[in-house]
């Protein structure tokens, strides 16, 4: 062998050795050589590790087997070869198959090799398995854009999605997008009374219902707490958006079964539509927020469509909130008393304590102008405790004056009712003013007891155990009244004014029949009945004839300041004594 040949051969050996080192040493990459048809000619350990095929299983077979069925059906392997042949290199990422059919996410490069005449000699297919990295990325994406508890998209995702919708329109911003902002009513009560794990269950169920409700028209997001949002792309029709909001709210309101407990939550919603209510993402969200605020303030379980006037109204409410705090500190609240009359003999047997605000500029204010805002204010519980004590103090003072012992009815704010300390606070007020428990009655409306029936029942039971009375206020005005009536430990039913209004001369038979059945039903359940808003003698006579026990209303007296109430009592007394119907001390 000539020297030249030996060195050429050793050079060749060296080259091959380097090639093997390169191909066989690399375990991170599959390096696969293909012939011009795409059949495998060389196979490195990286390829074996990644795909699971041993060299003897794969040599001579088409590289198409790494592609998924769909990709093969679409002719992807051939396309890759021809693109690589045209451009020299074809790079990408996609699903590939391991032996046995398991998918892996591959970063791929396909190099074409040509001989000196330009004829395709073959290809080198490089693949890196990025499945794990992809999973990690997906997990990170999930964590960043989805709410872990409910699985809904989160606030960041909402902002991103809206931004990309806005970017589609360039400078003009959002166009034809509706946003429905939802907030649960009564969720705080559930969370506080039944614990966070129950609260979490409620949120998860609500989230499921909302994503179903949004299906077909948009996506649901959870912003945090009990706040949710629906985004309806392509929707600029208020009616359509309202329909979706309504559907979503009704879905939320369906009773929930959690750990064998039946719970109900309501929802309020605010709707804003781009571009009418704002074209930047922040503006539209702000508008939807204001509309939601408006829906909440008008009592909840409602939806509001944004209107520009809401901005001013919210500002006014904000101001009122501050003013109410000041009023409480400055002792501007006062209590008026409206007599409650026993229909059988006309005796004054009770009085309802009604809040008034002696406003330094606007004079004496009735609750209509401030009670909603006050009830939503954290100071409601403080004011409520004050009302309870002030009413008890007055009752004690009247008794000390020698007035007949009458019963005082006190209204509760929802937050007061949900305060676990309420029974202790009530007991304390009675003790402090040395009043027997039957001197006090608390008025409960059905939306106060909203949320969890079991806790409401337990709370009422605790109050009843103190010996005080429990009147069900505004009876008939709500929707769940009958059920509450049979399940709650109540002592009295107050027929709502709207029913008393129906008692007209001449009578409209269907309406008055309702009043009659209410009285009968309450009596069957062993409850006493009082009618509120009695304004004329005809109504009083009708109620008396139907067996209603007591009445309250302008016919007898407006709510009166404490000293006026005392005058009223003396007058009522002397009249009754004059008529010889009763002696003052016997009235009660
Ligand atoms: P409510 O508990 O249903 O109180 C009865 C309301 O009806 C009172 O209005 C009373 O003045 C009015 N009223 C009484 N008789 C008649 C009548 O014959 N005809 C008419 N048209 N109205 C009559 P007011 O005092 O303005 O109170 C309104 C509401 O504010 C109350 O409704 C109650 O929900 C709330 N509220 C009043 N005081 C308090 C309070 O101390 N605490 C709480 N939590 N709420 C209160
Ligand atoms: Ca009341
Ligand atoms: Ca009432």
pLDDT digits 0-9 by tens, 302-313: 999 999 999 888
In this structure, which residue's CA is closest to atom 3 in ligand 1? 474
Q: Which ligand sits nearest to residue 415's alpha carbon?
A: 1
- In percent, how much of the chain has pLDDT > 70? 96
The SS3 assignment for 378 reads coil
pLDDT over 70 (residue 561): yes
Cα-to-centroid distance, 482 and ligand 1 (Å):
22
- In percent, how much of the chain has pLDDT > 90? 77
**Cβ neighbour number for residue 330 with a 10 Å cutoff:** 11
Cα-to-centroid distance, 410 and ligand 2 (Å):
7
Mean pLDDT lowest for which of 8-22, 24-38, 94-108, 138-152?
A: 8-22
Give the DSSP letter of residue 586.
G
pLDDT over 50 (residue 588): no
Spatial distance between the Cα atoms of 162 and 154, rounded to a whole number of angstroms = 12
Q: Which ligand sits nearest to residue 553's alpha carbon?
A: 1
Q: Which ligand sits nearest to residue 477's alpha carbon?
A: 3
Averaged pLDDT, 385-395: 98
Averaged pLDDT, 413-421: 92
pLDDT over 50 (residue 584): no
CB 244 within 8 A of CB 180: yes
Residue with tokens 């309802």: 352
Cα-to-centroid distance, 352 and ligand 2 (Å):
7
pLDDT, residue 460, reads 95
pLDDT, residue 520, reads 94
Using CA atoms, how far residue 552 sits from 9, 262, 337, 480, in Å, is: 118, 36, 11, 24
**372 sits in which H/E element:** helix 371-376
**Cβ neighbour number for residue 280 with a 10 Å cutoff:** 15
pLDDT over 70 (residue 581): no
What lines the ligand 1 site, CB under 6 Å? 338, 353-355, 366-368, 371, 387, 411-413, 443, 473-474, 497, 532-535, 552-554, 559
pLDDT, residue 586, reads 35
CB 127 within 8 A of CB 108: yes
Cα-to-centroid distance, 469 and ligand 3 (Å):
16
pLDDT over 90 (residue 500): yes
Please name the residues in contact with 313: beta carbons below 8 A apart, sequence gap of 6 or more: 294
Average pLDDT, the chain: 92
Pinpoint the alpha helices (H) of 434-492: 453-465, 481-487
3-state DSSP helix/strand/coil % of the chain, to nearest 5: 50, 25, 25
The 3 state secondary structure assigned to 24-89 is HHCCCEEEEEEECCCEEEEECHHHHHHHCCCHHHHCCCEHHHHECHHHHHCCHHHHHHHHHHHHCE
In this structure, which residue's CA is closest to atom 45 in ligand 1? 411
CB 500 within 8 A of CB 532: yes
Spatial distance between the Cα atoms of 270 and 304, rounded to a whole number of angstroms = 5
Pocket test for ligand 1, best of 369, 411, 562 (most atoms within 8 A of CB): 411
Cα-to-centroid distance, 534 and ligand 3 (Å):
12
Spatial distance between the Cα atoms of 546 and 293, rounded to a whole number of angstroms = 44
pLDDT band at 451 (very low <50, low <70, confident <90, very high): low
pLDDT, residue 314, reads 82
Report the interhelical angle of 509-524 vs 537-545 (nearest 10°): 50
Q: What count of Cα atoms within 13 Å lies in the side-chain half-sphere of residue 583? A: 2
The SS3 assignment for 191 reads helix
In this structure, which residue's CA is closest to atom 35 in ligand 1? 367
Cα-to-centroid distance, 209 and ligand 3 (Å):
35
pLDDT band at 18 (very low <50, low <70, confident <90, very high): confident
Secondary structure (DSSP) of 252-296: HHS-EEETTEEE--EEEEEEEEETTT-SSHHHHHHHHHHHHHHHH
The whole-model pTM stands at 0.65
The SS3 assignment for 97 reads strand
Mean pLDDT lowest for which of 70-74, 259-263, 328-332, 504-508?
A: 504-508
Beta bridge partners of 550: 342, 530
Pocket test for ligand 1, best of 354, 448, 500 (most atoms within 8 A of CB): 354
Please name the residues in contact with 135: beta carbons below 8 A apart, sequence gap of 6 or more: none
CB 252 within 8 A of CB 184: yes
pLDDT over 70 (residue 554): yes
Averaged pLDDT, 293-322: 90
Spatial distance between the Cα atoms of 144 and 156, rounded to a whole number of angstroms = 8
The SS3 assignment for 218 reads coil
pLDDT, residue 477, reads 79
């Amino acid at each position: 062998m000539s020297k030249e040949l030996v060195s050429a051969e050793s050079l060749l050996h060296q080259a091959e050795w380097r090639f093997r080192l390169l191909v066989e040493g690399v375990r991170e990459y599959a390096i696969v050589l293909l012939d011009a048809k795409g059949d495998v000619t060389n196979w490195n350990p990286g390829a074996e590790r990644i795909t699971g095929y041993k060299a003897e299983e794969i040599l001579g077979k088409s590289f198409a087997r790494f592609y998924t069925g769909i990709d093969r059906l679409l002719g992807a392997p051939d396309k890759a070869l021809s693109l690589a042949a045209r451009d020299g290199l074809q790079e990408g990422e996609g699903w590939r198959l391991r032996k046995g059919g398991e998918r892996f996410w591959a970063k791929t490069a396909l190099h074409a090799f040509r001989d000196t005449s330009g004829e395709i000699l073959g290809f080198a297919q490089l693949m890196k398995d990025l499945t794990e990295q992809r999973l990690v990325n997906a997990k990170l994406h999930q964590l960043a854009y989805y709410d872990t508890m409910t699985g809904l998209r989160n606030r960041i995702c909402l902002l991103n999605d809206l931004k990309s919708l806005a970017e589609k329109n360039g400078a003009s911003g959002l166009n034809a997008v509706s946003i429905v902002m939802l907030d649960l009513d009564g969720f705080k009560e559930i969370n506080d009374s039944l614990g966070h794990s129950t609260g979490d269950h409620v949120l998860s169920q609500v989230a499921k219902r909302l994503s179903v409700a949004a299906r077909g028209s948009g996506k649901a997001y959870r912003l945090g707490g009990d706040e949710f949002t629906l985004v309806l792309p392509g929707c600029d029709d208020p009616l359509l958006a309202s329909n979706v909001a309504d559907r979503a709210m009704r879905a939320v309101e369906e009773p929930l079964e959690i750990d064998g407990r039946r719970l109900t939550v309501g929802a309020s919603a605010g709707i804003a539509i781009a571009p009418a209510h704002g074209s930047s993402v922040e503006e539209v969200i702000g508008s939807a927020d204001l509309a939601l605020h408006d829906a909440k303030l008008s009592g909840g379980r409602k939806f509001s469509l944004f209107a520009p006037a809401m901005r001013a109204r919210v500002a006014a409410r904000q101001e009122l909130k501050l003013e109410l705090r000041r009023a409480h500190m400055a002792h501007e609240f006062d209590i008026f008393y409206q007599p409650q009359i026993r229909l059988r003999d006309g005796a004054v047997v009770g009085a309802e304590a009604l809040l008034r605000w002696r406003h330094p500029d606007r004079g004496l204010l009735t609750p209509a102008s401030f009670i909603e805002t006050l009830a939503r204010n954290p100071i409601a519980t403080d004011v409520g405790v004050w009302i309870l004590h002030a009413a008890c103090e007055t009752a004690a003072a009247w008794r000390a004056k020698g007035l007949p012992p009458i019963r005082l009815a006190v209204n509760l704010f929802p937050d007061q009712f949900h305060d676990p300390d309420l029974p202790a606070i009530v007991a304390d007020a009675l003790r402090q003013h040395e009043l027997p428990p039957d001197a006090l009655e608390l008025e409960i409306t059905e939306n106060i007891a909203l949320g969890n029936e079991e806790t409401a029942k337990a709370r009422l039971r605790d109050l009843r155990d103190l010996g005080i009375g429990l009147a069900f206020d505004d009876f008939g005005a709500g929707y769940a009244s009958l059920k509450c009536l049979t399940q709650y430990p109540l002592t009295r039913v107050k027929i709502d004014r709207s029913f008393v209004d129906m008692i007209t001369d001449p009578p409209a038979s269907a309406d008055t029949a309702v009043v009659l059945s209410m009285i009968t039903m309450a009596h069957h359940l062993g409850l006493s009945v009082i009618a509120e808003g009695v304004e004329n003698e005809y109504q009083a006579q009708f109620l008396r004839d139907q067996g209603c026990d007591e009445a309250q209303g302008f016919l007898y007296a407006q709510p009166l300041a404490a000293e006026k109430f005392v005058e009223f009592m003396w007058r009522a007394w002397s009249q009754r004594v004059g008529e010889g119907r009763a002696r003052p001390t016997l009235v009660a």
